Amino acid sequence: MIEGEKRKLLVVAHRGSSGSAPENTMAAFRMAIDEGVDMIELDVRMTRDFELVVYHDADLRRTTNGSGFIWEKTLDELKHLDAGSWYSPKFADERIPTLREVIDLLPANINLNIEIKSDGDVRRGIAFEDACIRVIREKGFAHRVLVSSFDHKFLRRFHKLDPAIRIGALYLPVRDAAKKPSTLERRLGASAFICSRTQLRKRFIADAHQHDIMVACYVVNTVRQLERMIRFGVDAVVTDFPRRIVRALNER
């Protein structure tokens, strides 16, 4: 488990409080903090000048007023884009944050799940891994972070470079159907298994807990979905609506 958990079931804010503010923005992260989450989940990509920014898609069109791919842009170019108006005009001042900026925002009682997004970026080697480790170590955040990805080759390289930083394997059914959480742990060094609520199976949880692996499930947005996760015995729920989930847990 990541240090600092406040309850048996961790509440993780999916891209911040993304149901109530533009995803992966400082506004969404501030809201999630105010709503009492245990952890914030965000997506990280690498810019043309090897800076780490918090952004989900490869392309800029969906959630900014820009176009093109993240890896084609410098940090300075990205910082001039509007990353909030797509959600609501009142968020027009929101910009794409850097990973460093988000880490600096987090109070001591809230941990971080960094999901690495490498799809589409043709750069290979260990530049992305090195950049991520450098920021985590520079900020003294190694004990408060979980680095996760669908890119298991990235996770394997990352773990070899810095085995002390926890990693989480995101489950992809077509590729991972025959693999148990403990198999992924053995191959990657993962201490967490992460899947969607529709992919969750009791056998995953049984195997994971037998091998001391954390199980996190996304996206859990209703009380009914939460109750199912509790019955299954998951360790963390990832939600777009942290306030709703925190309140439901506090009322139990």
Q: Which residues are catalytic?
A: 14, 56
**Cα 181 to Cα 27, 214, 221, distances in angstroms:** 34, 9, 24
How many other CB atoms are there within 10 angstroms of residue 203's CB atom? 10
CA 36 to CA 134: how far, in whole Å? 28
CB-CB neighbours of 227 under 10 Å: 13
Q: Which amino acid, 186? A: R
Cβ pair 115, 44 in contact under 8 A: yes
Output the furthest CA–CA distance in the chain (Å, rounded).
Answer: 49
Pairing assessment for the beta strands 145-149 and 52-54 based on DSSP bridges: unpaired
Beta bridge partners of 52: 46
Q: Could you give the CA distance from residue 141 to residue 205 in angstroms, rounded to a whole number?
A: 28
| Number of C-beta neighbours around residue 50 at 10 A | 14
Nearest to 166 by CA among 127, 206, 205, 114: 114
In DSSP terms, which residues pair with 12 in a beta bridge? 39, 238
Amino acid occupying residue 221: N
